[in-house]
Amino acid sequence: MDRKAKWAAQREKGAFLALEDGSIYRGYSVGAEHDALGEVVFNTGMTGYQEILTDPSYHGQFVTMTMPEIGNTGVNSADMESQRFFANGLLVHEMPSASNWRGEEELSAALRRHGIPALAGLDTRALTIQLRTRGTLRGYLSVEGRIAPEEAARRAREWVGLDGQDYASRVTCAAAYRWDEDGALSRSWGVTDALPPADLRVVAYDFGIKWNILRSMRRHGMNVEVVPAAMSAEEVLARKPDGVFLSNGPADPAAVTYAVENARRLLGRVPLMGICLGHQLLGLACGGRTYRLKFGHHGCNHPVLHLETKRVEITSQNHNFAVDPDSLDPAQVEVTHINLNDRTIEGISHRREPMFAVQYHPEASPGPHDPFYLFDRFRRLIAEA
């Protein structure tokens, strides 16, 4: 059966997405043949779907791509950001055949291989407008053809969702490991410039870390040891790191209480850098609070203002929670960056201790490289400390 005939047969099965409010969006299956629950978000990136799917921060979510055609470039081994696909599902308008010299596998085949359900043929514009209007919604993705839409919507309403859930423990590494000490992986990824000596010892907490973060730190002369999310501050300090990095990750930062406590115990004892979830954890460790955004920030085109330099950075982002500015003590914590779309906090630093964090992804992948300088800033912070 050719591709068109296969997808025509899938249309006959009546696959659909049911939202908790009862809305139904119909399409056809282009991924794994099993139903799933997830939180429905939209991503405004025009490309980078493979990096999105392999970003552990998307665990628990159905990603709606606003770009109408997804799958054009296929999937390849070089663009993986982790060992596997982590998103709970993918929602697209159209999935054409791959046509790219780097492509090694069709996106639909990769989705099936990783066990990720996906729908094409959706009205993703209408779905995105609904999410912007109503906010993030829980959903049930039906591809097996065994459940009525009303029942699927009921299951979506009854699903616990991501609030109050510790997903970092679900995506972290099982044991500590050293990342690419000799730079072989960085070179195989396409880094042609000479790598500097790895003269700084950095411990990176894995709350859902992306490989390009590790590549970026290696390119800045950091010898990185990645450790599980729940490793105690005392165990980390026993490794005598020059600095500690708190990574990105999924779900609700307030639920990762052990990480907040470890960050609090590390503050002032070793230079710290955090991004995304790590930024939120450091905000909590400094006495702040976090809250859920209406529909989050997901994409690679978010404008961020650096308040000191007045420079605008175009950034890659993926998060549903933010740090409440009114909860931070201005005598201790300085807000360094703000989002120009909604004025939310995008960066903080401690006024007395060597610590800074940003809400966005300086390593991009996918996305612009405007904030790549932050890895240099981490080196300088370590040197000054």
Same-domain check for residues 205 and 341: yes
Kindly state whether residues 106 and 255 are assigned to the same domain.
Answer: no
Mean pLDDT of 59-82: 96
- Using the 3D structure, point to which of 158, 183, 205 is the last residue of a domain: 158
* pLDDT tens digits, one per residue of 137-192: 999 999 999 999 999 999 999 999 999 999 999 999 999 999 976 665 555 555 55
Same domain, 70 and 124: yes
Same domain assignment for residues 262 and 131: no
The residue range of the domain holding 179 is 168-384
Q: Whole-model pTM? A: 0.94
Asked if residue 163 belongs to a domain, the reply is no
Quote the number of domains for the chain.
2
In a domain, 307, yes or no: yes
> By C-alpha distance, which of 94, 76, 79, 88 is closest to 3?
94
pLDDT per residue as tens digits for the range 4-32: 665 565 565 689 999 999 999 999 999 99
Q: What is the pLDDT of residue 365?
A: 82
pLDDT at 309 > cutoff 60:
yes
| Per-chain mean pLDDT for the chain | 94
Burial 335-353 (b: 16+ CB within 10 A, else e): ebbbbeeeebbbbbbbeeb
Assess whether 246 and 130 both reside in one domain. Answer: no
Active site residues: 276, 361, 363
Mean pLDDT of 347-363: 97
Q: What would the mean pLDDT of 38-54 be, rounded to a whole number?
A: 95
Q: Confidence band (pLDDT; 50, 70, 90) for 267?
A: very high
Res 331: pLDDT: 97
- CATH number of the domain bearing residue 238: 3.40.50.880
